[in-house]
Amino acid sequence: MRYVRAIAYEIKSRLFDWSFAPIVGWGLACAFFLAFLALQWVHGRAVLLLQKAHYLLFRTGSLELANSPLNRLIEAALKRSLAQPGEPGVMPGRLQASDARQALTTLPGGLVLKGPHLESGRVVEKGVLLLKNTQQFRAFRQFADVASVLREYVLVLEPSWSGYAQADILYFTRFAHHPVVVMATDEQDYRFLDRLETNLVPVSFGASDWVDPSVFHPLEARDKHYDAVMVARWSIVKRHHVLFRALRKLGDGSFRVALLAPYWSADTDRRSIEGLMNFYGVTKQVTVFDDLTPVEVNEIFNRSKVNLLLSRQEGSNRSLFEGFFANTPGLAFNNNIGLPKSYFNGQTGKLIEEHQLADELRYFREHWQDFEPRAWAQAHITPDITTPRLGSLLKKLAQQRAEVWTHDIVAKCNGPNLRYYPAPEVGAGLPTITDLLAQHPRTGSYSARRNAV
């Protein structure tokens, strides 16, 4: 029975891989676009079909399709929809109230990087609010009067997944008079936001640029017990089957891999993936670690020769770059969507073709010492470097709007949730996300609020 489940999951995995094929994305995008053309005049939410069509082309990772006439037609239709007066057809769905509020206030889903300066109830200088995780954007607008918040704060969004033609991001285009900064590490996402010509302002950094180097760092006298490490939740998205196939191809039972399942990982596919591991005959080579703290993750990085990411699509991703700071080189695929590929070089690791994986695992087993990713990471992607980059853009936006900017933002990091950097004291005196929800509760209809913007 376990082999039946494993074979079924293998078939499911191969179908998932096939869904990224350009011919599949193009065909389905055509179908959704034609459906939009047929329904746009009779159904107010037909624009959701446009978003789906755009996403299907995006996830193929094909620049040719991204620049194709079909994609240009889709983006032109999206721009027209976003420019229409009244309610844009990009209203995202709602979350369960208890889940949404808990996610915002306990994780937290937002962090104030600069407090607003008010005099006699009038905003003299705006503050800065950062929201992390795409689903948290939905939770925030569910409980906060976004128009009211934007009168006092500039909003910065750190999406958790690539492919930005989605309601939870496009929702903020309705506040056209307020710039909203959006982190976009994938070049296609960056260009998409730029071509939309809305109030969404893309920046080329993301979750990869906010790692705390004091948590992830080299440790002395650590033997390399694992030939490779992979941080991956129990999901088909992470493509464990690719690793197991490569291990079987290696045919070396002494090759050892550490598989780290994050604490927030859903166990939906765990049994199937473990069955697949057994099906490929590599169970004894893989050591699974559940629910490790960041300090414990750093320990495993230090005991591993290379850090793997085998997915086809990600957000900005953080685990590869945490490994960089632990001085563990990274290995990912050239066709990955969402990864900041410019961060891979002779110091940090390699981007490869999928068929090269087994050979590259063998290469890193012997040559891991040829890489020095921490030195590169410290010079390019620490919070100390990213914070001034963000602050400089925010200052420029304020000056363009003839707004006051007298002091800079404080620093934050992802550890893995949002927190102030390098210590909590950095945020002393700044409002919390709970404070903001209390000060700017969502009341009344959106139309009434829109008139006040």
Task: Write out the chain's pLDDT in tens, 453 residues.
Answer: 667 888 889 999 999 999 999 999 999 999 999 999 999 888 778 899 999 999 999 999 998 999 999 999 999 999 998 887 654 445 555 655 555 666 666 667 899 999 999 998 899 999 999 999 998 899 899 899 999 999 999 999 999 999 999 999 999 999 999 999 999 999 999 999 999 999 999 999 999 999 999 999 999 988 999 999 999 999 999 999 999 999 999 999 999 999 998 755 455 788 899 999 999 999 999 999 998 999 999 999 999 999 999 999 998 789 999 999 999 999 999 999 999 999 999 999 999 999 999 999 999 999 999 999 999 999 999 999 999 999 999 999 999 999 999 999 999 999 888 999 999 999 999 999 999 999 999 875 443 344 333
Helices (H), 285-432: 294-302, 319-325, 357-367, 373-380, 383-400
The CATH T-level fold of domain 228-380 is: Rossmann fold (3.40.50)
Bridge partner list, 419: 413
Strands, E, within 94-239: which ranges?
Answer: 110-114, 117-119, 122-125, 127-132, 153-158, 180-183, 200-203, 228-231
Give the span between the Cα atoms of 295 and 167, in whole angstroms: 36
- Whether pTM > 0.75 for this model: the answer is yes
Give the span between the Cα atoms of 91 and 364, in whole angstroms: 47
Tell me phi and psi for residue 439, to 5 degrees.
-80, -30
Amino acid present at 123: V
Residues 6+ apart with CB under 8 A from 274: 283
Task: Say how many Å lie between the first and final Cα of the chain, rounded.
Answer: 60
- CA 150-162-323 angle, to 5 degrees, is 105
Domain limits, the chain: 2-83, 97-208+382-450, 228-380
Residues 6+ apart with CB under 8 A from 24: 18, 60
Sign of CA dihedral 347, 391, 383, 157: negative
Helices (H), 262-325: 270-279, 294-302, 319-325
Residues 6+ apart with CB under 8 A from 38: none
Give which of 183, 208, 166, 205 is closest to 131, Cα–Cα.
Answer: 183
Tell me phi and psi for residue 133, to 5 degrees.
85, 120
Residues 6+ apart with CB under 8 A from 410: 113, 114, 387, 420, 426, 427, 430
Give the span between the Cα atoms of 345 and 375, in whole angstroms: 12
